Amino acid sequence: MASNVQVKFRLDKTKGRLKQQIVESLRIRMRERLRPLPILAKDKMRQYIAEAIQRCELYQAVHSGEQVYFELGTIDSPVILDELILVLQDSVSASNLFVRKYGDFLRINLNIVAIRGDFNDALGIPGAEYDSTNKHGKISKIKWMEWLLKSPPYIQRFNVLFRSTSSSRTGGAIMVEGMGDWELVEFAGTLDDNFVTRAMSDYKISEKMQRYIYRKCNELMR
């Protein structure tokens, strides 16, 4: 996720060389006054990411104790989702702050980048995958976080069995390797459409950041 935020200022009722001198003077002053902007924008983006995830349906379901797909193994999903938020927050960067002249305008550019497109940083969270043992004693990797973030809606060669097992946190259902497909409907996702990207979109982070940058520019220039 990347945003290029632009704010424009225009000087009216002044002509010629004097106007250009005033614009250049303002540009230098603005550049100095706006130095804190990247750090402020980065902190605000981190805040918005946490708020967006915490408001999404998946996070609410897990933290309310509902039995969702994460009940199919020995994982502490509320803790892992909170760790996911920290990983996503760590991915935020704000850079390339420029104040440039465009004729009578002064334009401010700031690049804000968040969340790696491949989500590989999120897949490295401890507990993002776990081992499942079938009735024959064969151990298989259950990559549940990868399925949520970057997989097709059907996961081949895994079934859900209902039997008593010590490897299931609920003592009931456990996902094991099999010959059929396991359909992830409610929370399954792809790189372009998963619970994280939907949370960002639903929370309208881009619009919020645009308004925040505009407001903060005005505050810093006072």
Tell me the pLDDT tens digit for each residue of 21-39. Answer: 777 788 788 888 889 999 9
The pLDDT > 70 percentage for the chain reads: 68
168 pLDDT above the threshold of 70: no
pLDDT score of 159? 46
Q: Looking at the 3D structure of the chain, how many domains does it have?
A: 1
C-alpha distances out from residue 68 to 52, 72, 117, 184, 195, Å: 20, 8, 26, 11, 14
Report CA torsion sign: 99, 101, 104, 105: negative
Q: Is 32 domain-assigned? A: yes
Provide the domain limits for residue 74. 2-127+191-220
Mean pLDDT for the chain overall: 75
Across the beta sheet with 93-102, the strand order is 2-10, 105-113, 93-102
Would you say residue 216 lies in a domain?
yes
Q: What is the pLDDT of residue 200?
A: 92
Q: What is the pLDDT of residue 175?
A: 46
Residue 105 within a domain = yes
Q: Is residue 17 part of a domain?
A: yes
Residue 168 belongs to some domain of the structure: no
pLDDT digits (tens, 9 = 90+) for 109-164: 888 888 877 888 888 888 788 777 777 888 877 777 887 888 655 444 444 444 44
The percent of residues above 90 in pLDDT, for the chain, comes to: 23
pLDDT at 145: 83
The answer as to whether 108 is a domain residue is yes
42 belongs to a structural domain: yes
CA distances from 142 to 80, 155, 198 (A): 15, 10, 24
Residue 24 lies in a domain: yes
